[in-house]
Amino acid sequence: MPSESPASGWPRPTRPRLSARFAYGLHALVAPRPFYRWLAAQLERHPLLGRWFTAGERITKEQIFGCQMCGQCALPATGYACPMTCPKQLRNGPCGGVSPTGQCEVHPEMRCVWVVAFERSEKAGRGRDLDLLQRPVDRRELGRSSWVNYWQGRDEGLWVAATSADPAPLLYRDPAGAVQ
């Protein structure tokens, strides 16, 4: 691209190529069910199959959402605008550097992906999703299939309701299974 930002090594905010409404609809199609759980297990059992599947996921989601393959998809809670395309990879909303017109502070020619996420969520009637507390990203999952993780139930606990009263929201996912 000619008018490239100062650096291209940083993630770049990406405007999704799918309408939010359509994306929410698609999500219903991939919701976990016995067949998908079976498929996910097969994909993990057969590495070559798994690699092909993951490559397919990468290509599609890269094209549509600018997916960075974090392996723990936040899209259903962000109006299907990918927060990992934020140069700071913020999972909990926009930073304080958004320009008055809603542009990214690092890539001023791009719209802040969280501004896009906010607008899409609101429009789809899912604005409250942005109030969820998103837990820290597990960096070990980078490059893995988030669909497989989702079907295997590993995405449970990616976020938690931002209740402030007792009990306060727990940062770690499973207090019982916490390492001692």
- Among 40-48, 73-81, 97-105, 145-153, which window interacts with another protein (CB under 8 A)? 97-105
Output the smallest distance, CB 92 to another protein, in A.
Answer: 4
User: How far is it, in rounded angstroms, from Cα 24 to Cα 102?
Assistant: 24
> Following CA atoms 104, 105, 106, 108 in sequence, which dihedral angle do they give, to the nearest 10 degrees?
60
**Site for another protein contains 102 (CB under 8 A):** yes
- In angstroms, the Cα distances linking 136 to 31, 70, 74, 111 are 23, 12, 11, 24
Reported residue count of the chain is: 180
**Site for another protein contains 3 (CB under 8 A):** no
Q: How many residues bind another protein (CB under 8 A)?
A: 48
Coil, helix or strand at residue 159: strand
Output the smallest distance, CB 103 to another protein, in A.
Answer: 9
Output the smallest distance, CB 97 to another protein, in A.
Answer: 3
**Site for another protein contains 100 (CB under 8 A):** yes
Token digits of residue 59? 């290509």
User: How far is it, in rounded angstroms, from Cα 12 to Cα 15?
Assistant: 10
Token digits of residue 12? 């770049």
**Site for another protein contains 168 (CB under 8 A):** yes
- Among 32-40, 47-55, 86-94, 146-154, which window interacts with another protein (CB under 8 A)? 86-94
Binding site for another protein (CB under 8 A): 6-7, 10, 87-102, 105-106, 112, 114-115, 118-119, 130-131, 133-137, 139, 162-164, 168-172, 174-175, 177-180
